[in-house]
Amino acid sequence: MSYTFFDLTIEDQLAQLAFNRPEKANSLHLPAWEEMRQIFEELDERQDVRAVVLSGAGKHFCAGIDLQTLMSIQQLNALKCEGRKREKLRQFILNLQDTITSIERCRKPVMAAIHGACLGGGVDIISACDMRYCTADAYFAIKEIDLGLVADLGTMQRLPTILNPGRMAELAYTGRKVYGEEAARIGLVNTVFESREKMMEGVGEIAKAIAAKSPLCIRGTKEMLLYKRDHPVGDSLNYMAAWNAAMLFSTDLLEAFQANMQKRAPVFVEE
């Protein structure tokens, strides 16, 4: 698998995916957005991938949407019909939203490993990841407020389920930077590492532990966590019962029981 704006390697059932526009602080123009969705759709289907680590090449994780991409919206002013102009703008926003949602649709856990800047659209992206980790010098900001915009790609919808509502409001209203230690303190990231090398090592170990579990159960766990986020407890319990009734009697279950009885590590095979 070779991509233009991302670097992807797959080894030992782990996908290491990195933004690869370091000369642009890994900001994303439209071709990069389209490529990201393609990648996550492919990773979702690959049986040799059980976890994904998302990071950034160069000095920064991701500076969000390339400003030239935002400026290109001005081309819509050439349309004479206001209705058609607004329709195309809506479709543009929905397309970018769907690209980020492709991270959630990927049934494999996605772990963001963040160093340097994570701004604007970068925050949208990590909000859609299952877990977030960073270096001490990493910093985050919902920068749209300083550009005369309301963040519209998922931060406002996903981050309030991760952060305290008051903290979320403060960051959205001010656009201020949050550095690594504070990010961990307010629950934006799971763990802060002193260096990028230690972060990639530590996140890699967690990803390996996930990859060693039943892939069917990992996919089911991700689905249940996302479902519960958007539904009340009663509906979630009902959905959980339906899922288990359909998936419980699997070869993974048998292998887990046999491995436990034989005091060995289970080996799960996709069939």
Residues belonging to the chain? 271
| Residue among 28, 33, 30 at smallest CA distance from 57 | 28
pTM beyond 0.85: the answer is: yes
Is residue 124 annotated as part of the catalytic site, yes or no?
Answer: yes
Pick the catalytic residue from 64, 120, 121, 180: 121
Under 8 Å between Cβ of 10 and 49:
yes
The H or E element that residue 39 is part of is helix 30-45
Mean pLDDT of 169-185: 97
What is the CATH topology of the domain spanning 215-262? Lyase 2-enoyl-coa Hydratase; Chain  A, domain 2 (1.10.12)
Mean pLDDT of 103-122: 97
The three-state secondary structure class of 48 is coil
Q: What is the CA radius of gyration of the chain?
A: 20
Is residue 121 annotated as part of the catalytic site, yes or no?
Answer: yes
User: Is the pLDDT confidence value at 220 over 70?
Assistant: yes
The three-state secondary structure class of 227 is helix
Mean pLDDT of 84-103: 92
Is residue 126 annotated as part of the catalytic site, yes or no?
Answer: no
Pick the catalytic residue from 7, 35, 152, 181: 152
Domain residue ranges in the chain: 6-211, 215-262
Please give the share of the chain, as a percent, with pLDDT higher than 90: 82
Q: Which residue do the tokens 């349309």 mark?
A: 79
How far apart CA 152 and CA 126 sit, in angstroms, is: 14
Mean pLDDT of 11-23: 96
What are the tokens at 190?
Answer: 């799971």
Burial of 84 (0-12, 13-18, 19+ CB in 10 A): exposed
DSSP structure string for 97-165: HHHHHHHHHSSS-EEEEE-SEEETHHHHHHHTSSEEEEETT-EEE-GGGGGT----SSHHHHGGGTS-H
Burial of 78 (0-12, 13-18, 19+ CB in 10 A): exposed
Is residue 44 annotated as part of the catalytic site, yes or no?
Answer: no
Q: What is the pLDDT of residue 1?
A: 66
User: Is the pLDDT confidence value at 234 over 80?
Assistant: yes
What is the CATH topology of the domain spanning 6-211? 2-enoyl-CoA Hydratase; Chain A, domain 1 (3.90.226)
Pick the catalytic residue from 39, 65, 114, 125: 65
What distance lies between CA 26 and its chain's CA centroid? 15
What average pLDDT does the structure give for the chain?
94
User: Is the pLDDT confidence value at 267 over 80?
Assistant: yes
Mean pLDDT of 95-111: 97
Q: What is the pLDDT of residue 151?
A: 93
Residue 75 carries which DSSP code? G
Residue type, 117: A
Identify the band that residue 114 occupies on the pLDDT scale cut at 50, 70 and 90: very high
User: Is the pLDDT confidence value at 271 over 80?
Assistant: no
Is residue 152 annotated as part of the catalytic site, yes or no?
Answer: yes
Pick the catalytic residue from 66, 104, 130, 144: 144
Q: Which residue do the tokens 């990648």 mark?
A: 39
What distance lies between CA 47 and its chain's CA centroid? 19
Say how many CA atoms lie within 13 Å of 95 toward its Cβ: 14
pLDDT tens per residue across span 39-77: 999 999 999 999 999 999 999 999 999 888 877 777 887
How far apart CA 239 and CA 218 sit, in angstroms, is: 16
Residue 144 carries which DSSP code? G
How far apart CA 176 and CA 123 sit, in angstroms, is: 13
pLDDT tens per residue across span 127-174: 999 999 999 999 999 999 998 889 999 999 999 999 999 999 999 999
